[in-house]
Amino acid sequence: MKKELRSPFFVLNPKCYLWGDEAYKLGAVAEELAVKYDLDIIYTGSLIDLARFAKDFPHLIICAQNMEALRPGKGMGHILPEALKDAGVQATFLNHAENPKTVSDLTETIARAKELDILTIVCADDVADAKAIAQLQPDVMVCELKSLIGTGKTADMEYMKATNEAVKSVSPKTKTLQAAGISSGEDVYKAIASGADGTGGTSGIVAAKDPEATLREMIAALDKARTDFYK
């Protein structure tokens, strides 16, 4: 059965900045925070690490950073959905700016994920992009301007509200996540205040002077936003 994602939620996405033991240490902090606040935290990782994370972090939603639409059989070097599922993976990112997909590939991969009850977290750039991709009815739409990724600067409230509304107008059940440049608790609160269902971070956390403290600050802010906007 597909994981039911609760709003507001958070995506901790180390990309390829962390792997192995360092990624595990940060995941352990996220696991602690997921229990403490009873919030859904999605944790991405390298393919090598995912099974270990799924085994040791039962309160996190373990997420692949990519998936492909192939089926068992031929496909040397590709990412088989069934292998992810058997490893305990519950979600996958798709169409990130650093790993874009064609419309055809995206359509087929979302369909495969639905077959296996894997949550799809699909990235879009501007309002038009978000509206177009929402037609594929992903579980989560990540709205982030490519120009802001890794800059420490977030989109303005106008962009956040416009993309939230664009996605919901096409696919009401798709949850929206505002990202790019999230680097503080204040940024997290702002994203949820825009009407988004979730937010998350990469370099704003892993490149911070104290990644653990930054993550704790962000999750505390998410909890406050939940109280202010979801209860």
- Residues labelled as active-site residues: 96, 144
**Residue closest to 107 by CA, chosen among 89, 120, 126:** 120
**Residue closest to 168 by CA, chosen among 191, 193, 143:** 143
On the 0-12 / 13-18 / 19+ scale of CB atoms within 10 A, 110 is buried
Q: Which residues pair with 67 in a beta bridge?
A: none
Please, which residues have CB within 8 angstroms of residue 152's CB and are 6 or more apart in sequence? Answer: 181, 183, 203, 204
The C-alpha angle 199, 201, 204, rounded to 5 degrees, equals 135
